Amino acid sequence: MINGRVWKYGDNINTDVIFPGKYTYTITDPTQIARYALENLDKNFAKQVKKGDIIVAGENFGCGSSREQAVTCLKYAGISAILAKSFARIFFRNCINQGLYVIECRDAVNKIENGEEITIDFQKGTIISKKGTFAFPPLPDNILEILKDGGLIEHIRNNVKFQNPNINSSPKSKC
């Protein structure tokens, strides 16, 4: 369960406004990357975002480049989940692979307002806002497992199925 303040944006928010291409090979430290989050969209975001905040956006959030820093910048800026009407597919995968929760729920996006506090319950699949409670379909099990492990790399390390003789770490049990 997470609780956070909403930063609300519109449709088709692309990776170049989330994290500009000119920084993709020059800024590599995640905490530095976070300082440029949404630079071309909302100059206040990086300055004012707090740990646990939630992004609520329209259709096709994260469209454009495959650059993973578009996820890194939001995650390290403190964003705990992104709720959108829909996601661009590579961005969606990148979120899961970095352990950042993504939820698709059109109804909730239409009602939730910028700046309000919302609560997301992943167990129940509900979003609680001052406008009411919204249900969202749970993510498939294999994706939830990756998220629970904290991302794809951690998931591989934890997952005995992927063991090969080259792995340099002891397998951990799946949570």
Partner 1 sequence: MAIDQKMGKTFAEKILALKSVGSTGILPVNAGEIVTVSPDIIMSHDNSAAISGIFKKIGIFRVMNPEKVVIILDHCVPPATEKYAENHKIIREFVRQQDIKNFYDINTGVCHQVLPEKGYALPGTLILGSDSHTTTYGAFGAFAAGIGRTETAALWATDQLWLKCPQTIKIIITGKLKEFVTPKDIILYIIGDLGADGVLYKAVEFTGETIANMSISGRMTLCNMSAEMGAKIAYCEPDDKTKDWLANHNILTSELCPPTSDPDAEYEKILEYNIDNLEPQIACPHTVDNVRPVKEVQGTKFHQALIGTCTNGRIEDLEIAANILAGKKIAKDIRLLIFPASIEVYKDALKLGILEKLINSGAVIMNPGCGPCLGAHQGILAPGEVCISTANRNFKGRMGCEDAEIYLASPSTVAASAIKGEIIDPRELSF
Nearer to partner 1, 130 or 174 (CB): 174
Nearer to partner 1, 1 or 153 (CB): 153
64, 67, 68, 72: CA torsion to nearest 10 = -90
Closest distance of CB 18 from partner 1, Å? 10
CA dist 150 and 160 (Å) reads 16
Closest distance of CB 167 from partner 1, Å? 6
Positions touching partner 1 (CB under 8 A) are 11-12, 14-17, 20-22, 24-26, 28, 39-40, 59-60, 63-68, 71, 86, 88-90, 93-94, 97-98, 140, 142-143, 151-153, 156-157, 162, 164, 166-169
CA dist 22 and 39 (Å) reads 12
In single-letter form, the type of residue at position 115 comes to G
Closest distance of CB 69 from partner 1, Å? 9
Cα–Cα nearest to 136, from 105, 112, 111, 107: 105
Nearer to partner 1, 12 or 126 (CB): 12
Closest distance of CB 114 from partner 1, Å? 20
Nearer to partner 1, 54 or 90 (CB): 90
Closest distance of CB 83 from partner 1, Å? 16
CA dist 66 and 29 (Å) reads 18
3-state secondary structure of 57: strand
CA dist 72 and 94 (Å) reads 9
